Amino acid sequence: MSNATLKKIGVLTSGGDSPGMNTAVRAVVRACAYYQIKCVGIKMGYEGLIQNQMSELGARSVKHIINRGGTFLQTARSDEFRTKEGREKAYKHLKSNGLDALIVIGGDGSFTGANVFFKEFGIPFIGIPGTIDNDIFGTDFTIGYDTALNTVIEAIDRIRDSATSHNRIFFVEVMGRDAGFIALNSGIASGAQDILIPEKKDSLEGLFQSLEKSEQAGKNSSIIVVAEGEELGNAFELAKATEMRFPDYDVRVTVLGHIQRGGNPTCMDRVLASRLGVAGVEGLLEGRTNVMAGLRSNKVVYTPIEEAIKKHNEIDKELIKVAKILAV
């Protein structure tokens, strides 16, 4: 597609929300205004395409959202879009609104949906990674991840105050169903005694040894960070096993939950979202489709969407080593 054939694009946010999605939408809308193409905001992800809920956005319609968490377009998980009939409705509304292409801000499920839609109806699209989990291949960071990390360490800093005041062991569960990026990085940044993530083989014995070592080293409290997807068990189960093994320990659990998704995006997430929003529009103008715009070594890169969906970023083993060394 050349510059001349791209006249109107739609932008939507889909899947789980993440801080910085608003900033990314703003960047898409403003880049469209800059390049003089029309931009349409689609409400509630693919649901808005199916229900024809969309409206044109100009540069001023995205004022004062650069710093706001969540997504003013709202997001949804659309079961109807998983069906052929649902996607046919979406295509009908997309055409009746004159849209030439889509920018999809979301996770790998959202990219899969856009790819299926492309294969059926040939609608060009570019994906922008918006998820706190940082589990998408083709970018060093996803939009929302840095903000979530900062929220987690702020919370753990507070928990530490209580832990040290009472000689307690806290199991803190953080988000990450399939990936331990949040747990590993926040664990290092908050000085956790142990970090349990799905990417590494953990054992109860290893955990108990770490707690014993902590006691022998004269520590009077410990923080254990547990990723949601940890295979050994959730924070409550691990706390229970620990209490059974060490009846004298005062063990507590905090599940951070949805506070990790909220809040004003950090500077890093705002800059990332701004760059990727512009890259999304420029990519479409250059004729790219079925790619995800991401950042690698601080440069914008486009990764084929199938790679972004299928491949996974590996956990950096050096970080696991650092966490272990510092828990001495």
187 touches ligand ATP by CB under 6 A: no
Q: Rounded CA gap, 278 and 268, in Å?
A: 16
77 touches ligand ATP by CB under 6 A: yes
Binds ligand ATP by CB under 6 A, chosen from 20, 41, 69, 106:
106
Binds ligand ATP by CB under 6 A, chosen from 116, 232, 268, 319:
116
Give, as one character, the DSSP assignment of residue 136: -
Phi, psi of 4 (to 5 degrees): -70, -30
82 touches ligand ATP by CB under 6 A: yes
Q: Which is nearer to ligand ATP, 110 or 139 (CB)?
A: 110
> How many contiguous H segments (helices) and E segments (strands) does the chain have?
11, 11
142 touches ligand ATP by CB under 6 A: no
Would you name the residues annotated as active-site residues? Answer: 133
71 touches ligand ATP by CB under 6 A: no
- Residue nearest to ligand ATP according to CB distances in the complex: 109
Q: Which is nearer to ligand ATP, 99 or 159 (CB)?
A: 99
Q: Rounded CA gap, 226 and 3, in Å?
A: 48
Q: Rounded CA gap, 19 and 131, in Å?
A: 8
Binds ligand ATP by CB under 6 A, chosen from 10, 11, 12, 16:
16
Q: Rounded CA gap, 155 and 140, in Å?
A: 24
Q: Which is nearer to ligand ATP, 128 or 284 (CB)?
A: 128
Non-local CB neighbours of 80 within 8 Å, separated by 6+ positions: 46, 47, 50, 86, 89
- Which residues of the chain form contacts with ligand ATP (CB under 6 A)? 14-16, 46, 77-78, 81-82, 106-110, 112-113, 116, 131
